[in-house]
Amino acid sequence: MKKKLKLEGLDCANCAYEIEEALKKEGLKAYVDFAGKQAVIEGDVEKAKRIIRRTEPTVRILEGDEGHDHGDEMNIRKELIFIFSSAALFVLGIIFRNELHNTPYSAGEYAVFMSSYLLSGGRILYSAGRNIRHGKVFDENFLMAVATIGAIIIHELPEAVGVMLFFQVGEFFQGISVNRSRRSIRALLEIRPDHANLKTDGKIITVPPENISPGDIIVVKPGEKIPLDGEVLEGRTQVDTSPLTGESVPVGVGPGDTVLAGSINGSGMITVMVTKSLEKSSIYRILELVENARSKKSETEQFITRFARYYTPAVVLGALAVAILPPLLIPGAGFSEWIYRALVLLVISCPCALVISIPLGYFGGVGRASHRGILVKGSKYLDALAELDTVVFDKTGTLTKGVFRVTKIVPENGFTEEELLSMAAAAESSSTHPIARSIIEAYGKEIDPETVKEYREISGHGIMARIDGREVIAGNDRLLHLRKIEHGACDVKGTVVHLAVDGNYAGYILISDEVKDDAKKAIEELRAMGIRTVMLTGDSEIAASLVAKELGVERYFAELLPEEKLDILEKLKEKAGKVAFVGDGINDAPVIARADVGIAMGGLGSEAAIETADVVIMTDAPSRVPEAIRTGQRTRHIVWENIGFAMGVKGIFIALGIVGMATMWEAVFADVGVALIAVFNALRILR
């Protein structure tokens, strides 16, 4: 059982990494989400709380969402009081510096500047000392403490205070930006209904959705969110499913239709019988999927957190070398000047821009995709989407509508159309395949189950059954060859179901399927992106070639058994680099699982899709596949922009600092400015 703990005061991505490592070291399954300010624990929750408090004593643990925003507001007010008090003393010290310096032992100067320093940097000094006690020496608090204390020792009081004050101002604005981005991302996912109108004993009472059970009757008023999955009993309305699917076109519903939690009711009032409890409803599964997505970090994200652990110690050692070696090796070089340059390096080198903006970038990518009805199970799959070379599509239900209808019945060898359709319907009566359903629908009569005996489904071929004592087979051309039944050539356009009775060919039924409206657009967009397209299907060669030609698919493979689809995917992976497979998530689960990126179409009601796929397209629209790829590409592009920008600017200022062309003032502006720009840049993914 997973438990979520809200972590108030988790303002450092490196701290989140440290907490996660500490939890794992103690044998707990856990991940700490810096962007979402929470820890997800599987195991002993009380033990986890103790570890979190020990690792980061300043982090406050909350269970649930209550008090979170209020706590942020309180912290903002408190921060502003300290910042303004420190700034006032700092300005006072600058204006009257000469007078204060001329007091006995410069006591006035130290009193004013040190008061300002402690107001702005007291928390940083405390955090640095606390971390050292817990064996965590190298972090941004340590860097700032050493840099500013060093400046005080060489009597650069205004610079020490100014650096600490501007660092705190930068951290303040950075914190506001991070919290705002968190709220922006959360707003994309705020689709959880907060109440339900329960109809009981002729009355309507308002209750939380979690108190509703399957079979209960609820009333959904115009404009309200539908709180749970259910079936409409009374009323007609238009339902906006865009919060779930990203599809803005309203859907008309009436008695007998299914409605999904999280959808928004239009202008009509409907009475709904609940079919699923909250934890099993579509909305709950979506939110859980998005929450869990944060645990599957990309290689870039994992690299940056590892990099930060080694980067800071390396910076400290480098600064130490700059402070000590030149005065010893260069004639005339003074310790004071090179110590100052070393302190400048410490300020410049804080890794905040990287460790904050990169998780936010991926978090935003997952949030943005989910808002568009594309559920990505982790940032590592955003990266995988960005690297795709080939997209392989299943045909039926993915590129085509999967809504089959009988268009032609061709009896042979003395059978009539009625006999052929009757036997086919009886043979297919136990199958749930769309083709079988279309034959039963075309027959339109009751089928006596007692007439069907020895039913057997042959995967990838068809069905064998004994009907009224006669052996009937219904399936594809391969099934006839398997049973060595002679039949004429059947060169027709569409999906064909052949029938044979007692070993004699009885004729065939032609079934047509329609291509989805946006399937061609999806293929064209993928081709424009330089991504190859392939189609796999168990359907006939003729039906497959027609669809492939109409859509412009580069390659197709027809008449495939499920295991043959897997074999072809393996061969494509060997030759084509990163390969995605797009299927319905049920019949194609093995292929979806084996692809570099498994994409399930129309997965809203499919447990298999949710479980197996890496990406779930909530609608049946193939055009969402290139959109998912673009989201992955855009997210990775922004992330690497931040990495390049942060490393580039810091590299330049480190070089300037070493040669003495950058002061501590410029260093703090470079550090804080880079972090703020990187955070703002990460938010672009939301637009």
Q: Report yes or no on 340 lying in a domain.
A: no
Q: What is the pLDDT of residue 251?
A: 84
More confident residue, 609 or 308: 308
Are the CB atoms for 492 and 445 separated by under 8 Å?
no
At a CB cut-off of 8 Å and minimum separation 6, what does 682 contact?
181, 357, 358, 360, 361, 364, 638, 639, 642
Q: Could you tell me the CATH number of the domain that includes residue 41?
A: 3.30.70.100
d(CA 36, CA 294): 8
**What was the pLDDT predicted at 630?**
95
Helix locations, 215-334, DSSP H: 242-245, 282-293, 299-329
Question: Would you place residue 548 in the very low, low, confident or very high pLDDT band (cuts 50, 70, 90)?
Answer: very high
Q: With the CA atoms of 228, 232, 238 and 241 taken in that order, what torsion angle do they form, in degrees rounded to the nearest 10? A: 30
Intra-chain end-to-end CA distance of the chain, in Å: 35
Q: What share of the chain is helix, strand, coil (3-state, %, to 5)?
A: 55, 20, 30
φ/ψ of 187, rounded to 5, equals -60, -30
The pLDDT score that the predictor gives to residue 65 is: 47
Q: 217-251 in b/e burial notation, b at 16+ Cβ within 10 A?
A: bbbbeeebbbbbbbebeebebebbbbbbbbbeebb
Is 227 within 8 Å of 212 (Cβ atoms)?
A: yes
Active site residues: 394
pLDDT of residue 67 exceeding 50: no
In a domain, 664, yes or no: no
Q: What is the mean pLDDT of residues 432-441?
A: 83
In whole angstroms, give the CA distance from residue 458 to residue 433.
13
- What's the CATH number where 248 sits? 2.70.150.10
Confidence of residue 191 (pLDDT cuts 50, 70, 90): low
- The CATH number of residue 430's host domain is 3.40.1110.10
Residue 372 has pLDDT above 90, yes or no: no
Q: Residues of 564-574 as b/e, b for ≥16 C-beta within 10 angstroms?
A: ebbebbeebbe
Nearest-Å Rg of the Cα atoms of the chain is 33
Amino acid identity, position 295 = S
Share of the chain above pLDDT 90, in %: 24
Q: How confident is the model at residue 293 (pLDDT cuts 50, 70, 90)?
A: low
87 in a domain, yes or no?
no
Which residues face 375 on adjacent strands? 616
Note whether residue 45 is domain-resident. Answer: yes
Tell me the mean pLDDT in the region 141-164: 87
β-strands 203-207, 196-200: how paired? antiparallel
Query: Which two three-digit tokens encode residue 548?
Result: 């492939």
Sequential DSSP letters for 300-367: HHHHHHHHHHHHHHHHHHHHHHHHHHHHHHSTT--HHHHHHHHHHHHHHT--HHHHHHHHHHHHHHHH
Residue 315 placed within a domain: no
pLDDT at 182 over 70: no
Is residue 668 a contact partner of residue 166, using CB atoms and an 8 Å limit? Answer: yes
pLDDT tens digits for range 455-471: 888 877 888 888 888 88
Greatest mean pLDDT among 46-55, 188-197, 551-560: 551-560
- Decide if 615 is inside a domain: no
Which residues, including other chains, have CB under 8 Å from residue 133's CB and lie 6 or more apart? none
Domain for residue 654, yes or no?
no
The contacts of residue 334 (CB under 8 Å, 6+ apart) are 327
Q: Which of 43-52, 151-160, 307-316, 419-428 has the lowest mean pLDDT?
A: 307-316
How many angstroms separate the CA atoms of 249 and 272, rounded?
22
pLDDT in tens, 626-678: 999 999 999 999 999 998 998 898 889 889 988 989 888 888 878 888 888 88
How many other C-beta atoms lie within 10 A of the C-beta of residue 149?
A: 16
Residue-averaged pLDDT of the chain: 83
Eight-state DSSP code of residue 430 = T
- Give 60's strand partners: 8
Beta bridge partners of 4: 40
The answer, yes or no, to whether residue 324 has pLDDT greater than 70, is yes
Using pLDDT thresholds of 50, 70 and 90, give the confidence band for residue 66.
very low
Check if the beta carbon of residue 668 is closer than 8 Å to that of residue 163: yes
- Do the strands 217-220 and 374-376 form a parallel or antiparallel pair, or are they unpaired? unpaired
Q: Which DSSP symbol is given to 686?
A: G
Least confident of 45-49, 71-75, 295-299: 71-75
In order of 319, 321, 380, the CA distances from 613 in angstroms are 48, 51, 13
Residue 59 counted as domain residue: yes
Point out the domain boundary residue: 33, 50, 66: 66
The tally of domains found in the chain comes to 3
Residue 389 reports pLDDT greater than 90: yes
Q: In the structure, what pLDDT confidence band is assigned to residue 9 with cuts at 50, 70 and 90? A: confident
Higher pLDDT, 643 or 131: 643
- Nearest to residue 41, comparing CAs of 56, 59, 57, 27? 27
192 falls in which pLDDT band (50, 70, 90)?
low
Q: Which of 67-71, 234-238, 345-349, 445-449 has the lowest mean pLDDT?
A: 67-71
Q: Which of 472, 495, 512 is the last residue of a domain?
A: 512
Which of 462, 483, 512 marks a domain boundary? Answer: 512
DSSP H or E segment with residue 169: helix 157-188
- How large is the average pLDDT for residues 207-228? 91
Domain enclosing residue 275, as ranges: 196-291
Model confidence pLDDT, tens digit, residues 489-535: 556 666 788 999 988 898 999 887 788 889 999 999 999 999 999 99
Residues across the chain: 687
Highest mean pLDDT of the ranges 238-247, 293-302, 578-587, 616-625: 616-625
Name the residue with higher pLDDT: 40 or 297. 40
Measured between alpha carbons, how far is 202 from 206 in angstroms, rounded to an integer? 13
pLDDT band at 221 (very low <50, low <70, confident <90, very high): very high
